[in-house]
Structure 1
Amino acid sequence: MLILGMVVIGMTSVVALGSVALEDTERQSTLERAEQSMAQFDSRAAQVALGAESLQELSLGHSSGNYQVVEGEGTITVTHVNHDGDDSDGDDDKTDDGNYDDDEDIYSGPLGAVVYQNGDTEIAYQGGGVWRHQDGNTQMVSPPEFHYEGSTLTLPVVTVTGEDSASGSPTAVVERATSTETIYPNSNTDYVDNSTKQYTNPASNGQIIVTIQSEYYQGWEEYFNSRTEGSVIDVDHGAETVTAELITLGHQGEFNLPSEDNPFQVRGLEPSMQDGDGLKDLAVTLRPIDRTQDHFSSLDWSMYVHSGGQEMEINLKMQGSGGCGDAADLTIYYHDGGETYQGWHAENAYTVDCSGSTPKIELDLIGDSTPSMNYESVTASNLVASNPNSISLQDPVVFDHFEGDNADVTYTVGSDASADLIIRHYFNHFAPTFDLRSTDGNHGNSVNEPSSNGNNIIYTGSDVITYLHVSENEVKVRFE
């Protein structure tokens, strides 16, 4: 009897455990089939939403779960943050003070979803993507209709409408609800607070912010982090939102001379030494505060970048009395945060020009006519914003990817190189985005920042949004 009882108990346990395992296997198989069905549904819905077909039908196969159209599930908002590049004090210096001065919601609307539910697991189609939601977490099964390649963001927003539900072996019917509406670019639409700026490409200034509010926000976060060049800047688990930032190319052309408090932001610079790529033009015109005979008598002016432990400074220091025809020395300094620095110096690099109504010094820093500079030690007296006195000159120093041949070039003390090449090389170290500032070492008869116009910057961009394409594509889903 004892042996018989043990056999019965063993058989019962085997049957019970086997039944549970079988149920788990069958459920997992059902969920995998549902994922495949949803992936096929995704493909058919895209044909309708993006204009190839007006109606598509798809048999979803037999399932023990339930399908439902959830109209209004989730929202998407596309915002052009600080679209005019101004700061809040209204001085039009093309910088962002960090408070998102002028923001425009280019698009905001519901996404909707088609959801398959089986127990505590959901397989959902939303925004042109398929998501698996289980145990409070969401994973991406297939990516949404969100394409960020090179400098172009293509975002056909797919909106699902309907109120139907089904189980068993339903057939999903997808039909176009409305014609595709082009949101951006659209020359007939003005920015709300700037009637002279239309929704046209190339998009410039500020950032493009995409915010998703959805039960499946974690899957969207996974997509932004793994499949795009954008960066997730905020995840709010309580509100079920994820926000991704895609930067636009910074201001090009003429710009006001920056100061320490109001820097000029270089945004999206492509790090390149190829001809025609990367930094293509940088010109600065300096004018004196006092227009006496000694126009630039105490000139000690620097334009600099300090970012992430790195320092670069371009200094111009007057050697004569500062009158017409007198010359100023040029110094370029770079420090990567380590125990050594790199220093360049050119005597009599630029002269005071009095040919016009106002004395000026024109610094053409990029191009074939830039001065030749010598690799040598510099001191704090050659600079304003940096201090190399406690560190030593790096010798030798290697510039990589020199010009177009991808070869490395080594410089030692006494070597020569053009200011054009040196500045482009160091700017690459800070790319793609950094702040340019300027300051005076002497606060007497030096640079008059407001009147120092004639400044120009041109550069090619990478990892930025230059062309933006946003459209609304509404489909209606029902089951038969």
Structure 2
Amino acid sequence: MVLILGIVVIGTTSVVALGSVALDGTERQSTLDRAEQSMAQFDSRAAQVALGEERSTRLSFGHSSGTYRVVDDAGTITITHVNHDGGSDADGNSVDDGPGDDDEDVYSGTLGAVVYENGDTEIAYQGGGVWRHRGDSTRMLSPPEFHYEGSTLTLPVVQVSGDESASGAPTAVVSKSGQTKGMYPNASTHYEDDSSKPTYSNPASDGQMIVTVESEYYRGWAEYFDSRTEGSVVDVDHANRTVTAELITLGKQGGFEIPTDNNPFEVRGLEPSMQSGEGLERLSFTVRPKDDHTNKFASLDWSLTAQNGDRRIEMNLGGLGNGKCGTGEHADLTVYYSDDGGATYQGWVAENAYEVTCDANGYAKIEVDLVGTGAPTAEYQSISGKLAAYNPGQGGGSLAGSTTFDHFDGDTGTTYSTGSTESVDVLVRHYLNHFAPTFHLESADGNNGNSVNEGESSGDDIQYTGDDVITYLHVSENGIEVRFE
């Protein structure tokens, strides 16, 4: 009897103890679930005040064993326009001055937070989003007020102010604090606080937009940037609790500087498409001879090139005899493309493609239209000995027997082989799409640098539509004050 009674007592005690722990855990989880729902409702109501027409609102959080507090210095957000003018010299020409050049914080401010805390778990409202945080883990429960769709970033920064705390069954009172401030665009603010510089205006171009969030909930912000936006998380700094997302802006349009060995031209954010009105729409430039041959091109052999891994393209001007302007001389255009490091290639030649003309001073020039109505027609063929950079005759490689253009929206699915012809406009657009969205155009002068003067030459026009880029940036500051009753 004593043994049986002992077993019963031990069993009963164990059931009560384990059951109590289980009940406590269940009750705590239920409390946290209710807190999540309450904070989601708070998120919705706060947005009506911060971003809507309401001046104030009230919300009961219901009874809870945890505590609520307002932390007005919790977290910061900074938006930096990196290299905002693409770099420029005294004459306004684009140059790359290296990291840190012309970087400007177009917005920087605190976020603040409303935090519910129960044991080692926090549920927080910050930046217009709700986050659940425990230890080294943060999970996004609802997204922040950060909208990146197509080429537009809309970022209404919600700033929380207040310093109160409460427990039990508090009621939160949310009031608008101040007027909404338009931070970008802003016609009254100039870059570098210099009236000679451009204002904060759309469309945003050149450089990149870098969004940096410092927060206890930075892992949740990283999850959002990585999965919900087209930007890429470029850095997560655990030591400083920051996440940085880079959002590229569309590259320079219109006139551009002819690239040199030390100053390539960056095509940034190109949309890879062959549809009308999409992708690369214009690419034209004018080349001029070296100063000691101003009225003619001596042994012209000059190219624009691009390379990305095993992909390479070269667009070469050559084939001139005397090359003197006004005599009816024409330069050939050769287009070379390889996607296997040069083992095989696709080659095209447009003979007598562009005339050598004289300007008003009698100086020679060649106006080249690669993408546009003035582009010539080329024939698919072997191009050994016709290039300045990737010469198959010197570096090996063989002409691919055929190629089919079926890679991009708008491609016709046409198959080309030796003797086939096609407009250079189609060829250059198609091949450069393989390097999208961002790549560098460089130059190569096969005649020991003696045929073209890049400094006197000019990029006449480049136009292209963007993909996964920021073209329009809308940033506003919206304050709310939170107190408890």
Normalised by the size of structure 2, how large is the TM-score? 0.94
CA distance in structure 2 between the partners assigned to 1:315 and 1:236 by the alignment = 45
1:375–1:411 CA contact under 8 A, matched in 2: yes
- The equivalent of 1:474 in structure 2 is 479
Task: Decide whether aligned partners of structure 1 residues 91 and 342 sit closer, same or farther in structure 2, where only a CA change above 3 A counts.
Answer: farther
Question: Over aligned residue pairs, what C-alpha RMSD do you find?
Answer: 1.8
- The equivalent of 2:320 in structure 1 is 319
- The equivalent of 2:404 in structure 1 is 398
CA distance in structure 1 between the partners assigned to 2:281 and 2:287 by the alignment = 20
- The equivalent of 2:99 in structure 1 is 99
In the alignment, which of 369, 376, 398 is matched to residue 374 of structure 2?
A: 369
CA distance in structure 1 between the partners assigned to 2:339 and 2:349 by the alignment = 18
1:181–1:471 CA contact under 8 A, matched in 2: yes
Amino acid across the alignment from 2:444: T
In the alignment, which of 415, 422, 436 is matched to residue 417 of structure 1?
A: 422
- The equivalent of 1:334 in structure 2 is 337
Cα distance per residue 1:338-358 (max 9 Å; x no partner): 643211112221121125322
- The equivalent of 2:184 in structure 1 is 184
Amino acid across the alignment from 1:32: D
- The equivalent of 1:170 in structure 2 is 170
Cα distance per residue 1:210-233 (max 9 Å; x no partner): 110111111110000011111111
How far residue 318 of structure 1 moved from its aligned partner, in angstroms, is: 2.9
- SS of the aligned residue for 1:365 comes to strand
Structure 2: runs of 5+ lacking an equivalent? none
- The equivalent of 2:75 in structure 1 is 74
Identity of aligned residues (%): 64
Cα distance per residue 1:388-439 (max 9 Å; x no partner): 34332222211126784x6422112211111000000011111111111112
Greater shift, 185-194 or 267-276, is seen at 185-194
CA distance in structure 2 between the partners assigned to 1:245 and 1:454 by the alignment = 28
- The equivalent of 1:138 in structure 2 is 138
1:93–1:262 CA contact under 8 A, matched in 2: no
CA distance in structure 2 between the partners assigned to 1:112 and 1:121 by the alignment = 18
How far residue 332 of structure 1 moved from its aligned partner, in angstroms, is: 0.8
Task: Decide whether aligned partners of structure 1 residues 301 and 396 sit closer, same or farther in structure 2, where only a CA change above 3 A counts.
Answer: same
In the alignment, which of 456, 465, 470 is matched to residue 465 of structure 1?
A: 470
Structure 1: runs of 5+ lacking an equivalent? none
Normalised by the size of structure 1, how large is the TM-score? 0.95
How far residue 111 of structure 1 moved from its aligned partner, in angstroms, is: 0.6
CA distance in structure 1 between the partners assigned to 2:301 and 2:344 by the alignment = 24
- The equivalent of 2:7 in structure 1 is 6
How far residue 454 of structure 1 moved from its aligned partner, in angstroms, is: 5.0
1:175–1:475 CA contact under 8 A, matched in 2: yes
Cα distance per residue 1:52-74 (max 9 Å; x no partner): 21001111111110000001111
Structure 1 segment 213-292 matched on structure 2, within 5 A:
213-290=214-291, 292=293
Q: Does residue 34 of structure 2 align to residue 33 of structure 1?
A: yes
Provide the aligned length of Structure 1 versus Structure 2: 477
In the alignment, which of 357, 360, 364 is matched to residue 353 of structure 1?
A: 357
CA distance in structure 1 between the partners assigned to 2:329 and 2:56 by the alignment = 77
Q: Does residue 436 of structure 2 align to residue 431 of structure 1?
A: yes
- The equivalent of 1:303 in structure 2 is 304
Amino acid across the alignment from 2:345: Y
CA distance in structure 1 between the partners assigned to 2:268 and 2:450 by the alignment = 33
Cα distance per residue 1:176-220 (max 9 Å; x no partner): 011101111111111125423001111111111111011111111
CA distance in structure 1 between the partners assigned to 2:48 and 2:103 by the alignment = 33
How far residue 117 of structure 1 moved from its aligned partner, in angstroms, is: 0.2
Greater shift, 281-290 or 370-379, is seen at 370-379
How far residue 277 of structure 1 moved from its aligned partner, in angstroms, is: 1.4
1:305–1:311 CA contact under 8 A, matched in 2: yes
Task: Decide whether aligned partners of structure 1 residues 292 and 311 sit closer, same or farther in structure 2, where only a CA change above 3 A counts.
Answer: closer
CA distance in structure 2 between the partners assigned to 1:100 and 1:92 by the alignment = 19
